[in-house]
Structure formats: structure tokens, C-alpha cells
Amino acid sequence: MSATLIDGKAFAEGLRGRVADAAKRFQADAGRAPGLVVVLVGEDPASSVYVRSKGKACREAGMESTEHRLPETASQEELIALVKSLNADDKVDGILVQLPLPSQIDDKAVIGTIDPAKDVDGFHVVNAGRLAVGEDALVPCTPLGCLMLLKDQLGDLTGMNAVVIGRSNIVGKPMAQLLLGESCTVTIAHSRTKDLPEVVRRADIVVAAVGRPEMVKGDWIKPGAVVIDVGINRVPAAEGKTRLVGDVAFDEAAAQASAITPVPGGVGPMTIAVLLRNTVVAARARLGLTPEVGL
């Protein structure tokens, strides 16, 4: 392997430390800690794990964290009523409704109810629109974390060719907007893209957010490109066990790239760290306090 390993775990730890300092300053300014509320509907085991780790990370950063659980059978009206009560609660700075939601509930209706000023996941159309027109916005955590890693690795991204594989509202589209905001020449590739390997070969920056294990091959990577692998895929391993792999065939791609994120330990740890960051940013903005620098 010739590529530098991009250590998302270490970067995320540093960011969490800076967030903890910012939370102390907020406490001094506002007389209370920044507050995040996570809402979980149902008992999905993966979602429960995410929600627990978000709460723990929040408390470790000196922030207030509350969990609201609704039963799997909860109605859309019940969930929307809860979101409205959280919108009205002055001590709540961030509201996160854990996805996926049970089938009787329309995600869009729920996310559309969250006060955009408290939308720390950055999924509300108002925040998506602000990002698109280059205004201050709360930006989805995973792509913002990817951008932080890229800027840390490369500095100025101006003029670089970036290819984002995947066009989801959660990762691909906001990632493309962020890279455009850094003056990259951005291509969004997706399941209908023709000759994907050729498209990827033009990229100085490749962000893979597909959800297909090791789909991006080494010979798709331009020598010296920087590769950010968002994918988290569980695949069978020896002795009936499983292991996590990304969307990029790591060993092959690392032989071509100048830098690459591993899975696990790359993008994954950034998501929660950026969620904490977004909560402090939202908290200061809501109270009209000066924005934090360096977050």
C-alpha cells in the first residue's frame, strides 16, 4: 500500500475535544449546556445502538442529551406532536429523529416538522436549500465529516475534479453541494451512470456512498487521487463470522490513491462527532451568540 491512511477516528476525537470546549463556552454564555434530543420509534437493534452511542458522546462532550422512545406502533400524529413540543422547548437546541421510521410514518412529514434551526441532521428542505444556494445551513453530518477529512488532507480543494458516487439526500447530494462550495468540478454518479469506471478515473477526489461492498475497484482510481469511502457493508468472513467493508476494494485502491479512508475507522467516527458539532453550532445560532471558529 502506498496511500496515506486517513485516520477518521483520530480526527473525530480531536473534533469532539473542540466541541467539548465549545460546550463549556456555551454553558458560560447561556447558563446551561447545549441540549440534543434523540427520538427513537420502535426497537430496531441497530438504531438503538446508534441512539445510545449518540447520547453517550453528547454527555462526554458536556452536553445535555435526552432520549424519547415511542413504540413501534406509534402513529405519525403522535410523533409529529412530540416533535412540535420539542420545537417549542427552549432548552432543546437539536432534534434528531432516528431513521428509518416504521412504515406507517412518512419520514418527509416528520422531518418537515422539525424547526430548521434545531435540525442538527440537516435533512429539512430549508437546510438542504440553504446549502444549495450557499447560505449558512445545518449540513448533514456524514458528508460534512467527509469534507473535513478532505480539507485536512488536501487543504484548498479549488479546481479539483470530484466524483461522488451515490445521490441520496443524506450523503451523495449534500456531499456534492459541499464540494461545489469548495470550487471543485463535481460529478454525481449513480446507479444509472454509464461507464462508471471511466467517470471515476477522471477524479482527483472520489467519494463512494453506495452501499455495495467493494464495488469501486483499484483500476478505477486515478494514481494519486484521494478516496473517501462512506460505505458500511457487513459481509461473511471466515468461521461463520462477519466483517465490515466499505464500497471501495481497499487494498487495490490504496495501491493507486495518495490517501484513503479505511472501513472501519474512516468516515464512520466522524458522523457522531459532527452531530455534536452541529448541536453546538445550532445552540449558539438560536441564542444569537457569535459563531464558534474552528469547528
Residues that bind ligand NAD (CB under 6 A): 142, 165-168, 170-172, 189-191, 193, 196, 209-212, 230-233, 267-268, 271
CA torsion sign for 232, 243, 4, 18 is: positive
Q: How far apart are CA 146 and CA 175, in angstroms?
A: 8
Which residue in the list 93, 118, 119, 121 is annotated as catalytic? 121
Q: How far is the CB of 233 from ligand NAD (least distance, A)?
A: 6
Which residue in the list 93, 98, 118, 256 is annotated as catalytic? 98
Which parts of the chain are beta strand (E)? 4-5, 35-41, 64-70, 94-97, 161-165, 185-189, 205-208, 226-229, 233-236, 242-245, 259-260
Q: How far is the CB of 234 from ligand NAD (least distance, A)?
A: 10
Active site residue 54: yes
Q: Which is nearer to ligand NAD, 76 or 169 (CB)?
A: 169
Active site residue 177: no
Q: Which is nearer to ligand NAD, 26 or 50 (CB)?
A: 50
Q: How far is the CB of 67 from ligand NAD (least distance, A)?
A: 20
Helix axes 125-132, 172-181, angle to 10 degrees: 30
Q: How far apart are CA 114 and CA 86, in angstroms?
A: 9
Which cell is 257 given?
Answer: 490513491
Active site residue 121: yes
Q: Which is nearer to ligand NAD, 9 or 69 (CB)?
A: 9
Burial of 265 (0-12, 13-18, 19+ CB in 10 A): middle
Calculate ∠ Cα 206-208-210, nearest 5°. Answer: 155
Q: Which is nearer to ligand NAD, 146 or 259 (CB)?
A: 146
Q: How far is the CB of 92 from ligand NAD (least distance, A)?
A: 24
Catalytic machinery residues:
54, 98, 121
